[in-house]
Amino acid sequence: MLCQSSIDFYEEKGKTGLKDAEGNTVIPANYDQLGWTKGFSFPVNDVIGYKQGAWGLISVKNKVITPPLYYSLEAQHKNLIVASIKSKYSNELFYGVISSKGHVVVDFKYHSLTPLHDLIIVSVRRKGKSYYGLLDQQGKELLATDFANISYFKEGLFVFTTSSQRKGIIHKSGTIKVEATLDSIAPVSESYTLIFKSGKIGAIDSAGTVLHKPLYKKIVDRQTVKPFKQYQIIDASHESLHDFYCDSILEISSDLLAIVRNDYFEILNVDFDPIFRGEALNHLSAYRKNVIFKTNDKYQIIKYNGEPVYAPGFDTLLFDESYMYGLFEGQWSIFNKFGSSLSKLRFDSLLTGSNNLIPVKRMGYWGYIDHSGKMAISAKFDEAGVFVGNIAQVNYLGSRRIINQFGEFIGEPNYDRIKIEKVNTALVTKRGRTDLINYRGEVLFQTYNQLSPNFFGYLETTAEGHKGLVSHLGEIILYPEYDSISEPMNRRYAVVQQADKVGLINFKGFWVLPLSKETQEICHVNDGFISIKRNGQYGFVDFGQRLLIANRYEKTKPFTSGLAAVKLNGKWGFIDKKEHLLIQPTYTEVTPFKNGIALVSRVGKLGAIDAEERQKIKIEFDTIQTTTHDFLLVKKEGKMGLFNQAGQQLLQPSYTDIRPTMDDHFIVERRGLSGLIDPTGRYSIPLRYYSIREISHGRYICLETDPKAEE
In the prediction, which pLDDT does 711 show?
Answer: 52
- Give dist(CA 130, CA 370) in Å, integer: 44
Q: What is the mean pLDDT of residues 487-495?
A: 93
In the prediction, which pLDDT does 77 show?
Answer: 62
Q: Residue 660 above 80 pLDDT?
A: yes
pLDDT digits (tens, 9 = 90+) for 303-343: 988 899 998 999 999 999 999 999 999 999 999 999 999 99
Phi-psi group of 209: left, alpha or beta (phi > 0 → left; psi -120 to 50 → alpha; rest → beta): beta
Q: Residue 710 above 70 pLDDT?
A: no
- Give dist(CA 528, CA 437) in Å, integer: 38
- Give dist(CA 182, CA 215) in Å, integer: 12
Q: What is the mean pLDDT of residues 25-46?
A: 91
CB atoms within 10 A of CB 290: 21
| Whether the Cβ atoms of residue 18 and residue 5 lie closer than 8 Å to each other | no
Give every strand in the sheet of 563-568, ordered side by side: 555-556, 563-568, 571-576, 581-587
Beta bridge partners of 70: 55
Q: Half-sphere exposure of 646 toward its Cβ, with a 13 Å CA cutoff?
A: 4
Which DSSP string do the residues of 439-458 spell out, in sequence order?
TT--EEEEESSEEEEETTEE
End-to-end CA distance of the chain: 69
Residue type, 174: G
| Whether the Cβ atoms of residue 40 and residue 75 lie closer than 8 Å to each other | yes
Q: Residue 251 above 50 pLDDT?
A: yes
The DSSP H or E segment spanning 400 is strand 399-404
Mean pLDDT, the chain, whole residue set: 94
Residue type, 436: L
Backbone angles phi, psi at 615, to 5 degrees: -75, 105
* Confidence label for 437 from pLDDT (cuts 50, 70 and 90): very high
- Give dist(CA 171, CA 210) in Å, integer: 13
Distance of CA 157 to the CA centre of its chain: 40
Distance of CA 563 to the CA centre of its chain: 49
* Confidence label for 273 from pLDDT (cuts 50, 70 and 90): very high
CB atoms within 10 A of CB 299: 20
Q: What is the mean pLDDT of residues 523-533?
A: 95
SS3 call for 637 = coil
Which DSSP string do the residues of 180-201 spell out, in sequence order?
EEESEEEE-SSSEEEEEETTEE
In the prediction, which pLDDT does 305 show?
Answer: 87
* Confidence label for 231 from pLDDT (cuts 50, 70 and 90): very high
In the prediction, which pLDDT does 2 show?
Answer: 41
Q: What is the mean pLDDT of residues 377-396?
A: 96
- CATH fold of 520-621 reads Lipocalin (2.40.128)
Residue type, 103: H
pLDDT digits (tens, 9 = 90+) for 36-61: 998 778 899 899 999 999 999 999 99
SS3 call for 709 = helix
Quick one: DSSP state of residue 203? Answer: E
Distance of CA 205 to the CA centre of its chain: 39
* Confidence label for 3 from pLDDT (cuts 50, 70 and 90): very low
Domain segments of the chain as ranges: 4-181, 228-249+622-711, 449-511, 520-621
685 by Cβ neighbours in 10 Å (0-12 / 13-18 / 19+) ranks as buried
In the prediction, which pLDDT does 254 show?
Answer: 85
- Give dist(CA 64, CA 153) in Å, integer: 39
Percent of the chain topping pLDDT 90: 86
Beta bridge partners of 442: none
The DSSP H or E segment spanning 707 is helix 707-710
546 by Cβ neighbours in 10 Å (0-12 / 13-18 / 19+) ranks as exposed
Distance of CA 373 to the CA centre of its chain: 25
Q: Residue 1 above 50 pLDDT?
A: no
Q: Residue 519 above 90 pLDDT?
A: yes
In the prediction, which pLDDT does 588 show?
Answer: 98
* Confidence label for 453 from pLDDT (cuts 50, 70 and 90): very high
pTM of the predicted structure, to 2 decimals: 0.77
